Structure 1
């Protein structure tokens, strides 16, 4: 119960601190903690086609604000190709935010447009939480209803991807059609040009489905049989709608199938790459860039492949009529995607370089096309100015050129005369992330990057043991502190422990001792991003095997709240690793103990964080506490910032022994800086009792304090809606009650009180009004 009360009190104090910090111009505390406020496959009522996530987040607003979170990253808001189940990354209609009946539902997986707007409005009530939408600029998805004739793809395929120089178009994404085929015999020859000729023939399989009557698709395990290499050698196709399994034996091999049409109709040919697995036998999906296509189609001695045959793709995308404010109406066609013409090309997945022309997901936008650029930039500006998003997380930035990313960012309307917050997902090496951030800067756009190298290090630390992981590996971990030349300033880096991508693949999870990773992240430089499942104890399941799961302990939320409080109250400057440069003793214990000193925020003097990865023992180090450029701590008393306990006094020579519990952390601050989180609590009401509740239930038209700022007196006025037990008191920033202006029962009506603050020192004060079980807080600034 004590722990719960502490967490409860802490939240209330953080809410006050959030308000105070926003107003205090002399404070440089790090009000920068953000949260990824979703995870893979968040709940949805698929049967009722009802998304509830926006409402869920709206309901969490009060506690997120109370915890000190100032920004949330939310899912991609646009309608996805898979309707109510789409996680947003299968984006279909950019302007459908859950307000048009498309793809089987009106709402998105996350809810309706109105529910989205309601959530945004709730987050924007002071103390404000900024909301960052996930943005997909690389691609859109589509369905068979978006089919169109695509001459660019036909030329690309029949040119065998520029004679093998470029990646093949995916076999399964082309429907080959002979329109209005007249009665007679058709000899359809299939070839594969981008096959692995060094592998076994079983690796070079494919399915061919041919339909000329509109019959339903069936697969009765028909296999091709040799000889069927043309020139009189053929297989009679088993029937319209059937699927035949086949292989390509060698570079000169083709497979020929005879189709007899009795009534004029379209002949539709669908190909899919396959491969065999044995023990037991399986006919498996294979790489679709194997280059299968109908190289020739003979009818009455004429080859229709080069003339009549059409390549059709799902790139003719049209939408319902958009009628909302600022919503655009247009359609897409093949010219907006790669390959857009016979000279365009597709690339492979590469390693971690920029891959502008790769069909990694869906229909790959040709982001060099001026129409594509203009439409996507207009959409981004609409999301900001009309819908109200404060910033954006750019998905898969490897998929399009940096100059377009920069132009998209620069086109956004400014927020408070500044460029909006942008973070890009560049899942790659530190070198690549640094270059992406710097290239955007060169092109006039400011963006941050996710610190994937640090995520890897923190995962290894948490999942490792006292013997397998050397804590000295933290010394130069991540993009900010790396010593390999690929570092970025802390203002360009967002740090994280897990996200929705790593959270759906069990081999990338943090699986234990989560608090160690958060202790590092929330005390160090960079903008920290908390993962929703870690904070709320949501079970993470492997996307490929739901039986594999992990759940962060409930206690982690208290740790995170405590660490946010410490970050906001004490920290804000540079950092020095004392277990590296502070003459640590015993030096061998640096294998298990990491100690770093972080500078302060202009109000408080910073702190020293200690991490210990030993499995059973409390461990620590003697270190020099005061590196050059830092306040000299010699002779000063330090305390554990979380509870005011664990005190230690620095020796006259600046040496001090600091420790942390097994698989845990401590943060030490100067005793003279220490602010007891519980002392900040001026009320013990639940955090959910916010000013809004007080307004709705007890007070009409809010609370007026005039003048504010003031020098000698402040008049406090409010209209009480109904009879209540009322108290009005003034508190200073330490949580100390300065004076009680009123305590007693009041009837409904006007309440007017005066605070004589002529003797009060200059500073920020809290006016706390209680009416029955509700509370209202308002700041009063006293200047002299």
Structure 2
């Protein structure tokens, strides 16, 4: 079976103008040939900011670029026809299609209504401040342009648990909406940051409302009928009760496909929190390995002072490899974003080798690392910054190496703080490789591959080391790596 490799085919600053779906379709064949098996697409439905929406300000889940809402028919990425063509092109290229899902909140309400709210302490949402009061809130979503097509469901104050802005009296903050759900308390089985992390932004969805629960299950079935769908990436799951996704994932697997791939964004480096969450969702999904991504960022900034033997310490992939989606960067960690934890360009090839060529985890490649990206945005200091994310040297070759050589059992040689290696021993049908990387000066290691490799010639698939390496009569081979680099030694053809 081909090693699965996921590509996040967008970033926070992906250019607008409805061009992305066309680019997906155009690149589908080349992605499949390279070794990409799954493509994660951005949110495909209408956001509150219309054609400028990255997609996480979810407005109408049923508008896939079909209705004139929020000032546009198409989304930032294109119209519904373009989405369908992009997804079909991926499928035709034998690439699975993974869709982004934002259930936590809605934004851009169509109407206001009177609500009763209770202000809470933003640093401890379990702590109430003052008395409940009546105010006007943007909590009614009627989607007039869609006019009931696909779903007649109207979202109102009974569908939301919290809000961050009210009028008459005007106030901002975090407000618990008081209705018949939860006895004035937030949802449970959410992350414990800020006491209770139910509230994130906008009109926060109330999952205890059974009508909401059934509508979101219906949407999952409906969406999979509209466009090719092989799985979902679930947004902001720290803020959504675990019981909801335990039920929702089971429901879509039962009604759509038992093979659906599901990965959740539960961005926490604490293994205890991740294991607890996986237990609550009956281990039905995978999680992004936030701890490993942070380690990569730290290692890239520390240079030769970082002990490479510890690179996987505290990571999800080391503790629960079958539940880990490993990554070097994503749209939240890229420069100028909320979880910024950039991996320096010199270290990025090493990090990618550590997720693409190992036996454990499912790797996710980030669009700018494969194709590059340039953008301008304001930093936290209010100043404008021009960001240039360069193409990561050798990344296409590393993806190809995963496809061709990341086979068989693995042996780690983590015996030096500045130079580590691992061996994929191959199978009877497919060759393996020896991966060596260094964050200090040039290094070499003698690897015992076994007598069946005696006399075989190896070369660096990445081309960083120009010489060949020949195994001796007992199958020992000495491989080299340049300083601050990575080499992938594979059997030489011919």
TM range (shorter): 0.7 to 0.9
Structural mapping, 1:637-648, within 5 Å: 637-642=457-462, 646-648=467-469
For residues 19-57 of structure 1, give each alpha carbon's deviation from its aligned partner in whole angstroms, at most 9, with x where no partner exists: xxxxxxxxx331x11110001132124xxxxx2222222
Equivalent residue number for residue 493 of structure 1: 324
**For residues 455 and 574 of structure 1, do their structure 2 counterparts lie closer, same or farther at Cα, with a shift above 3 Å needed?**
farther
* 1-structure distance, mates of 2:51, 2:20: 12
- Equivalence for 1:384: 224
Shift of 1:497: 0.6
Partner of 1:528: 363
Aligned residue pairs total: 467
1:457 aligns with 2:295: yes
Shift of 1:320: 2.0
Aligned position for 1:395: 235
The correspondence for 1:431, drawn from 256, 260, 272, is 272
- Hey, what does 1:562 align to over in structure 2? 397
**Separation (CA, whole Å) in 2 of partners of 1:569 and 1:430:** 32
Gaps of 5+ in 1: 1-27, 46-50, 169-193, 195-290, 296-304, 482-486, 581-589, 676-784
Answer whether contact 1:349 1:355 (CA < 8 A) is retained.
Answer: no
**1:142 is the counterpart of 2:115:** no
Matched, 1:82 2:49: yes
CA, structure 1 residues 323+601, in 2 after alignment: closer, same or farther (shift >3 Å)? Answer: farther
CA distance in 2, matches of 1:415, 1:648: 53
After superposition, the Cα gap between the structure-2 partners of 1:315 and 1:554, relative to the gap in structure 1 and judged at 3 Å, is closer
Aligned to 1:620: 444
Aligned-partner SS, 1:166: strand
Residues 267-416 of structure 1 correspond to what in structure 2 (within 5 A)? 310-320=134-144, 322=146, 327-338=150-161, 339-341=177-179, 343-346=183-186, 358-412=198-252
Q: Does the aligned pair in 2 maintain the 1:618–1:661 contact within 8 Å?
A: yes
1:573-623 superposed Cα distances (whole Å, 9 cap, x missing partner): 44321133xxxxxxxxx1221101124355224211000112xx4212335
1:186-225 equivalences in 2 (<5 Å): 194=129
The alignment's TM-score, normalised by the length of structure 2, stands at: 0.85
The 2-side partners of 1:165 and 1:447 are apart by 28
Give, in angstroms, the shift of residue 666 of structure 1: 1.2
**Residues of 2 paired with 1:350 and 1:555: CA distance?**
36
**Cα deviations across residues 371-428 of structure 1 (Å, max 9, x unaligned)?**
1111111111111122222211000111112221021112215699533010100100
Q: Specify whether residues 165 and 461 from structure 1 end up closer, same or farther in structure 2 by C-alpha distance, changes over 3 A only.
A: closer
Q: CA RMSD in A?
A: 3.1
Q: TM-score, normalised by structure 1?
A: 0.55
Structure 2 equivalent of residue 669 of structure 1? 490
Q: How does 1:30-179 map to 2 (within 5 A)?
A: 30=3, 32-45=4-17, 51-125=18-92, 127-143=93-109, 145-151=110-116, 153=117, 156-157=118-119, 166-168=126-128
Contact 2:87 2:97 in 1 (8 A): yes
Contact 2:191 2:197 in 1 (8 A): no
Give every structure 1 segment of 4 or more consecutive aligned residues whose post-TM-superposition deviation is greater than 6 Å. 347-351, 354-357
Rounded to whole Å, the distance in 1 between the matches of 2:469 and 2:433 is: 13
> Would the aligned equivalents of 2:368 and 2:390 in 1 still touch at CA under 8 Å?
no
Query: Could you tell me which residue of structure 2 aligns to residue 502 of structure 1?
Result: 333
| Native 8 Å contact 2:349 2:485 kept in 1 | yes
Classify 1:475/1:433 alpha carbon distance in 2 versus 1 (closer, same or farther; 3 Å): closer
Cα distance between partner residues in 2 of 1:35 and 1:492: 17
Could you tell me how far 1:554 is from its partner in structure 2?
A: 4.1
Partners of 1:350 and 1:29 in 2: how far apart? 36
Q: CA deviation at 1:505?
A: 3.1
Structure 2: gaps spanning 5 or more residues: 162-176
Cα deviation for residue 447 of structure 1 reads 0.9
Name the CA distance, whole Å, in 1 between partners of 2:386 and 2:427.
Answer: 39
C-alpha displacement of 1:547: 4.1
Instruction: Give, in angstroms, the shift of residue 60 of structure 1.
Output: 2.2
Q: Which residue of 2 aligns with 1:12?
A: none
Q: Is the 8 A contact 1:579 1:621 kept in 2?
A: no
Between the aligned partners of 1:330 and 1:451, the Cα distance in structure 2 is 36
Find the residue that maps to 2:65 and give its secondary structure: coil
Q: Is the 8 A contact 1:316 1:332 kept in 2?
A: yes
Per the alignment, residue 186 of structure 1 pairs with none
Distance in 2 separating the partners of 1:350 and 1:370 = 18
Tell me, in whole angstroms, the C-alpha distance in 2 between the residues paired with 1:480 and 1:492: 7
Change (3 A) 1:650 1:106: same
Aligned equivalents of 2:160, 2:442: Cα separation in 1: 59
